C-alpha cells in the first residue's frame, strides 16, 4: 500500500485498462498509469494514450474506433474480440483475467457519453464477482466495488459517496452522516470522512466513491 500526496492508499495494480472515454488529466491516475507493468487499451482508448506519448501493451476490442495509423502500427498487439454482448471495457478486463491478472485499475472510462459512464461504473460490480480487485480512477476520484463489511482508508474531509446495489443492513462508522438502507443513488452521496479511515457494515454489494482532494 502506498500513500500519495493526497493521502490516497492504493495498491499498485498489475495492469491498467485505458477506456475510450476522456483520457485522464489529473496527476494521480496518470501516476498510476505510468507505474503500471501492463497497459491494455479499449480500442480507441489507444489513440489518446499514444497522443499522450505512451504506448499500449495490448489493444482489445473490435478495432472500430482505433485510428488507421494506430491499427497498422500496433497490429501485432491488437487482440480482437467480436462479442457483441459485452463492451470493450469488459473485453479488456476479461482478457487480463484470462492472463491470471487480478488487480486492475481502469482509467478513461468516464467523461464522454453518460450512458457509457453509467454502464462502465456498474460493471465494476461484475468484475468484483469475477474475483478481481478493481478500481476505477477518474479526474476527480475513484470508485471501488465492495461487499459486506469493509474498512476503507481515507483522510479528514475527503468526500465519499456510497451507491447501494443489493446491500441490506447498511451502517457506517467514521462518516459525517451515518448511512442507512438507502435505495436511490442520490441518497448515499455527499458524505465525508472524519478521520483516517471509515467502516461500512452491510450484507451485500455496494460501490464506494472517494475524492482525491478534501472539501475546501
Identify the CA nearest to 214 among candidates 176, 163, 165.
176
Counting contacts by CB under 8 A, is residue 199 touching a second copy? Answer: no
Helices 114-129 and 88-98: crossing angle, nearest 10°?
20
Cell 462508522, residue?
173
Residue closer to a second copy by CB (options 19, 141) is: 141
The contact mask relative to a second copy for 122-141 (x = CB under 8 A, - = no) is xx-xx-----------x-xx
In angstroms, the first-to-last Cα distance of the chain is 26
φ/ψ (deg, to 5) at 188: -100, 10
**What is the rounded CA–CA span in Å between residue 89 and residue 74?**
19
117 binds a second copy (CB under 8 A): yes
Under the binding rule (CB under 8 A), the answer on residue 172 touching a second copy is no
Answer whether 108's CB lies under 8 Å from 21's CB.
yes
Q: Tell me if 180 contacts a second copy by CB under 8 A.
A: no
* 206 near a second copy (CB under 8 A): no
Stretch that binds a second copy, among 31-39, 50-58, 72-80, 113-121 (CB under 8 A): 113-121
Chain residues binding a second copy by CB under 8 A are: 87, 110-123, 125-126, 138, 140-141, 143, 159, 161, 163, 184-186, 189-190, 209, 211
Amino acid at each position: 500500500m502506498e500513500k500519495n500526496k493526497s493521502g490516497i492508499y492504493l495498491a499498485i495494480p498489475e495492469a491498467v485498462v485505458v477506456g475510450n472515454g476522456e483520457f485522464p488529466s489529473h496527476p494521480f491516475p496518470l501516476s498510476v498509469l505510468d507505474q503500471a507493468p501492463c497497459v491494455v487499451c479499449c480500442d480507441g482508448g489507444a489513440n489518446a494514450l499514444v497522443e499522450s506519448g505512451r504506448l499500449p501493451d495490448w489493444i482489445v476490442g473490435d478495432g472500430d474506433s482505433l485510428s488507421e495509423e494506430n491499427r497498422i502500427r500496433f497490429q501485432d498487439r491488437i487482440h480482437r474480440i467480436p462479442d457483441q454482448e459485452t463492451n470493450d471495457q469488459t473485453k479488456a478486463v476479461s482478457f487480463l483475467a484470462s492472463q491470471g491478472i487480478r488487480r486492475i485499475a481502469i482509467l478513461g472510462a468516464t467523461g464522454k457519453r453518460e450512458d457509457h459512464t453509467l454502464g462502465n461504473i456498474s460493471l465494476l460490480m461484475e468484475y468484483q464477482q469475477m474475483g478481481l480487485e478493481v478500481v476505477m480512477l477518474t479526474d476527480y476520484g475513484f470508485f471501488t466495488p465492495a461487499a459486506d463489511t469493509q474498512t476503507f482508508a481515507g483522510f479528514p474531509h475527503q468526500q465519499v459517496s456510497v451507491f447501494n446495489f443489493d446491500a441490506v443492513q447498511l451502517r457506517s462508522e467514521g462518516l459525517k452522516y451515518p448511512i442507512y438502507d438507502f435505495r436511490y443513488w442520490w441518497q448515499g452521496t455527499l458524505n465525508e470522512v472524519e478521520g483516517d479511515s471509515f467502516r461500512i457494515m452491510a450484507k451485500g454489494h455496494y460501490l464506494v466513491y472517494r475524492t482525491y482532494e478534501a472539501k475546501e
